[in-house]
Amino acid sequence: MPETIQEVQEQTRRQKVYQQLVAERKPKPPYLRNFLVAFMTGGGICAIGQVVLGIFMERGQDISAASAPTLAIMIFLGIVLTAFGIYDEFAEFAGAGAAVPITGFANTIAASAIDFKHEGWVLGMGSKMFIIAGPVIVYGILSGVFAAFIKFITRL
Amino acid sequence: MASKKIGQATRKFTNPPIIIGTGTVVGPMEGRGPLAGDFDVVLPDLTCGEKTAEKGERKFLEQAAQIAIERSGISKDIVDYYIAGDLLNQIISASFSARQLAIPFLGVYGACSTCAMGTALGGMIIDGGFADYVLVACSSHYQTAERQFRYPIELNVQHKPTSQYTVTGAGSLVLASSGNGARVTWATTGKVIDLGIKDPCNLGAAMAPAAADTLLRHVADTGQDPDTYDLILTGDLGRVGSELFRELAKDAGLDVGNNHNDCGLMIFDCKTQRVGAGGSGCACPAVVTFGHVLREMERGKLNKILLIATGALLSPLSSQQGETIPGIGHAIVIEW
């Protein structure tokens, strides 16, 4: 049944009124608490990484050589905590602080792998492992290309 | 002219079908909630002894249906229809449970409104003289719903205050043309209502207009004052949706503040259990109504209730493609 212009306008008006009501009644997240906790927890994870890096550098490695085992340790921590069901509990508390790479990134891959493990090695776990992490890889590389391009242009 | 039509959307059952048996199965979290004593089975874990959550869900859906049949005192072989639904793609839990039950099957999808929709349909089938016994069931599962609609279970996500917690469980009842028990006397079928809410983390807001619309049409059709009901129960609007529902009803001249409650707020202790704005999922209204509310009626605490179960009719893809979330509310009246 074709709608008259008045009916369409009335429907739009009702929608706007309701959406305004919803916006008013929506409980706000505790922004200040979330910012502070994310800062502390994200910073805490980075501090742990710094300590691990320091341990490897103590053994005489320079920073670039020490980076690889540091990353490996942080990834391992992220995966183990995910596997034991601890990381998501931590994330409920920490918010964005738990999303920091590398541990956050490791969590996204491990969590996806766990979820899809029963759907087969190839089409399940193999392909869906990167379902959350994929965009990080795509847009990370894209940003790198873009940054390199700008660097190139500014050098001309 | 259809003789059982009352107004635009409501049907009155001239021979109201009777609820002769119910079965409710819930997960561990629900078993720690305030209504735990009124459920038939509390599962010790989320997989019901199976390898995956999906396999577990269809197993406990079948279990709830079997309990309902047992409680009815009838044999499975004389059940005329099995009406069931769930939240998963292609309603696999319902279909696979139907395979085990081997009863002529009508699979339905109404998201979280399934239990009321199924009961209304079952009622019409019986009152229309097409069946003597109809089994109705639905299920939902926290993990299977999260996987399908939102994120992997172990992913680092901080839930928003408007997010709700999908109830793990299954609720089932058997309707009969004769027998003892509460009766389903009226049914109001909902229309799809969409007031432009896009946020899949605020489904209460998406569904509240549908609940209000169905309430208004029910009241207009039947001429009954909302106060005649001991309880007006919404399915899973949660804290945010309930507030919006009451506001919308009030704007239309109906004050339901005194006798309204929401299954999503009843099934969990929202203060101590971490469930966001409340419970949700097909099982939410099903287990609360078929488990707790019907027992309250048996205990003499409630006589006449109106259940408006609502569903958010989005798909995982529709949200991602920028669509709004349409809602629907199906209402049934249960009288002792």
- Average pLDDT over every residue of B279-288: 97
pLDDT tens, B98-119?
999 999 999 999 999 999 999 9
The answer to whether residues B19 and B145 belong to one domain is: yes
In 3D, which of B41, B46, B136 has the Cα closest to residue B86?
B136
Domain extent for B256: 183-335
Preferred mutation among A11, A12, A22, A119 to probe B, highest tally of B CBs within 10 A: A22
Residue B200: the pLDDT is 92
pLDDT tens, B197-235?
999 999 999 999 999 999 999 999 999 899 999 999 999
The answer to whether residues B163 and B206 belong to one domain is: no
The answer to whether residues B201 and B307 belong to one domain is: yes
Q: What is the DSSP letter of B252?
A: T
The answer to whether residues B130 and B33 belong to one domain is: yes
The answer to whether residues B119 and B158 belong to one domain is: yes
In chain A, residues with a C-beta closer than 8 Å to the C-beta of B162 are 26-27
B277 pLDDT band (50/70/90 cuts)?
A: very high
B258 touches chain A (CB under 8 A): no
**Distance, CA of B108 to CA of B87 (rounded, Å):** 10
The answer to whether residues B101 and B120 belong to one domain is: yes
Q: Look at residues B160, B176, B192 and tell me which one is the last residue of a structural domain.
A: B176
- Average pLDDT over every residue of B143-148: 94
The answer to whether residues B206 and B106 belong to one domain is: no
Kindly report the CATH number assigned to the domain that includes residue B161. 3.40.47.40
Q: Look at residues B146, B176, B206 and tell me which one is the last residue of a structural domain.
A: B176
pLDDT tens, A77-128?
999 999 999 999 999 999 999 998 899 999 999 999 999 999 999 999 999 9
**DSSP 3-state assignment of B166?**
strand
Q: Look at residues B120, B153, B176 and tell me which one is the last residue of a structural domain.
A: B176
Residue A2: the pLDDT is 52
Counting the structural domains of chain B, the total is 2
Contact B162 A27 (CB under 8 A): yes
The answer to whether residues B128 and B250 belong to one domain is: no
β-strands B18-26, B41-42 pairing? parallel
Residue A11 has pLDDT above 70, yes or no: yes
Residues 6+ apart with CB under 8 A from B71: B20, B21, B22, B23, B174
**DSSP 3-state assignment of A130?**
coil
Residue B136: the pLDDT is 98
The answer to whether residues B137 and B194 belong to one domain is: no
Where along chain A do its domains lie?
29-130
